[in-house]
Amino acid sequence: MTVRVGITGAAGRMGRTLIEAIGQTPGLEVTAALEQSASSLLGADAGELAGLGKIGVTVSSDLAAVIDVIDVLIDFTVPAATVANLALCVTAGKAVVIGTTGFSASQDEEINRAAARIPVCKASNFSTGVNLCFKLLDMAARVLGDDVDIEIVEAHHRHKIDAPSGTALAMGGVVANALGRDLAEVAVYGREGQTGARERETIGFATVRAGDIVGDHTVIFAGDGERVEVTHKASSRMSFARGAVRAAGWLAGREPALYDMQDVLGL
């Protein structure tokens, strides 16, 4: 059975890559493409935007008008738009893959409530490699324990609007959980001036925003005399898109719950 997929932000960089990835994936089909009402690309063929040629799906701004022709919505937009789209999907009983980051605590609660009624897959990063890194980070933190200083450095393109990245925060969460720490209490976001000596239990975050960097993440475990680094570098958005498309195919027909990419990959 073909899984019918809707794409939000279809005219953006990630949206076009998602459409391309679905075009390369047997068993999935783009049946709806959404953009903001002010977009100059409304009415364009979604396939042509992604370089696939015409697929007969025009870009529109009204999710409610096309909700009946999709099984799963993939949403990589901004938090407010994602939450609004999620509400429509709950009403229509449609599954949702969420790649948006930067949600507030109250928005996360809305997502949790929605997942009690529909299947939702939410991940800070849909790359298979990044999700493997989560496993490696858990192992490294448990082995190295409290004998190392931990720093997380991430870099993204100039257009990214949230910092640190959702992936960096997720990495910090994995490490903190492995060490029995509360990330909210031990995270240090940037340093300036006379900061004093570093406290061992803290987890530091450093952010770079420059050029067209797709996404680089490094977690440093630094002890006396040696240093272990776990690094992931993305050179193309296609790595994220393929993971999200894989999640969409996996999510279709699942029971209502909040899933993540670890579930999709069986990790």
Q: What positions carry a catalytic annotation?
A: 156, 160
> 164 preceded by cis ω (within 30°)?
yes
Which structure tokens are listed for 50?
């992604």
Cα–Cα distance, 197 to 203 (Å, whole number): 14
Q: Measured between alpha carbons, how far apart are the two ends of the chain, in Å?
A: 26
Give the residue among 132, 164, 135, 157 at the shortest CA–CA distance from 236: 157
> Measured in whole angstroms, how far is the alpha carbon of residue 193 from the centre of its chain?
33
Which structure tokens are listed for 60?
């529109």
CA atoms within 13 A on the CB side of 138: 11
Tell me the backbone φ, ψ of residue 208, rounded to 5 degrees.
-120, 135
